Amino acid sequence: MSVRDALRRSRTYSESASEKRKDQFRDALRGKLDEIASEYASPVEEKKHITNIVNLADNLTPRFSDCLREGRFRIGIAQKALNLYLKYLWCIGLISLPPHCPFDSIVISHIPECSNLNWTSIDNIADYQRLVTAAHKIAESKTLSEWELETWGKPSSHLESVLIHKILE
């Protein structure tokens, strides 16, 4: 689910990417996520987590540059895949609390300071760290993982609130 959700709206692949190469990329991503997740059986510090995100993007890029948009597996998509995978593992009790949450358009909509960032386009760690810093301020005493679980289901605007209310009626 985490691979599917990270790649679904992210425009990860080049227009010329074959289905075979996309499948190979998804398989490699799943393998790397499993490999990295084994480190999270005990708490992982934020600095190491950020290194894991960068390494995930940097490891898959050269192997799949031929099928990736602009030849690169971007930081924003790598963080979404890893953070979402860790969230699922944490929620079912297989790992300790992850240091970050998955940053996507819904979560970013709750971080006004970063409203100009599009998670699918982020490809430098400074922009990702800007998200993390701003989210920490909003989360206050909560961890980012706890804050995101509470926030994800909340509408980010009055219009969304009205629409959700109408749907639920």
The rounded distance, in Å, linking the Cα atoms of 52 and 42 is 15
Contact partners, residue 54, CB within 8 Å, separation at least 6: 75, 78, 125
C-alpha pair distances (Å), 122 with each of 103, 128, 131, 161? 11, 7, 10, 28
- Per-residue tens of pLDDT for the chain, all 169 residues: 889 888 887 889 999 999 999 999 999 999 999 999 999 999 999 999 999 999 999 999 999 999 999 999 999 999 999 999 999 999 899 999 999 999 999 899 999 999 899 999 999 999 999 999 999 999 999 999 989 988 776 544 444 444 444 444 4
Is the pTM of the predicted complex or chain greater than 0.85?
yes
- Given this model, what pLDDT does residue 71 score? 94
Domain limits at 79? 2-168
The rounded distance, in Å, linking the Cα atoms of 169 and 160 is 14
Number of domains in the chain: 1
Closest CA to 85 of 114, 123, 52: 52
